[in-house]
Amino acid sequence: MDLGLPAKYNPNIPLEKQYSFEACRNWNCKKIKVGAKENSKFYVSEIENLQKRNEKDTGIEFILDENNSYNDFVSILNDLAIAKHEIYGLDLDKTGHVFALVDYQDSSTKKEEVECLLCNDVIVNYLDNRSVFERVFLSHIFEKYSALSATLTNESLCLLCGFLILLTVSILNIKKFI
């Protein structure tokens, strides 16, 4: 669950410039008292109806009181997720209610189509810039190493790794004295 906590209301700063719930308080919200979890289908249907109506400055106010528990709060958030409604808020300042608000889509305005800059990308040519020596030699070493590792036992691989570690340590110690 990811909740963004609002900043404290400052009367010296204009309301439009604050991250506040004050602008939404006077909207036309349908009030629904949150009861038992069995009402989940009803809540989802109400949220979906709210989305279909697409009316400006409307929403649903889910009323939580002292009789509700954390499970009721999470149930409301799950119902919002089921209905795929992403615009909601929790009024922590005054009421403690959950508000599901409409993201009003004006049908008279056209959606701007953004040109997709990364669509239909195709790599036309692939050039292998490695030399013939690198391609042949490295592939030959890889084949030999994989064949060798398949035939070695576990103990011999441990012995070989230990030898390589001791060799590395001894080379590092020689560099200290030079």
Whether 81 has a pLDDT exceeding 60, the answer reads yes
Given a contact cutoff of 8 angstroms between Cβ atoms, the answer to whether 95 and 57 are in contact is no
Question: How far is residue 79's CA from residue 49's CA, in Å, rounded to a whole number?
Answer: 13
Lowest-confidence region among 57-66, 89-98, 133-142? 133-142
The CATH architecture one would assign to domain 15-101 is 2-Layer Sandwich (3.30)
The predicted pLDDT at position 165 comes to 92
How far apart CA 42 and CA 107 sit, in angstroms, is 28
pLDDT exceeding 70 applies to what percent of the chain?
Answer: 67
Contact between 66 and 52 (Cβ < 8 Å): no
Amino acid found at 9: Y
- Report the chain's mean pLDDT, rounded to a whole number: 76
> Is the CB of residue 89 less than 8 Å from the CB of residue 49?
no
- Alpha-carbon distance 80 to 44, whole Å? 7
> Strand 98-101 to strand 28-33: parallel, antiparallel, or no bridges (unpaired)?
unpaired
Partnered with residue 9 across adjacent β-strands are none
* Residue ranges of domains in the chain: 15-101
How far apart CA 46 and CA 64 sit, in angstroms, is 17
Name the pLDDT band for 37 (thresholds 50, 70, 90): low
pLDDT value at 128 more than 70: no
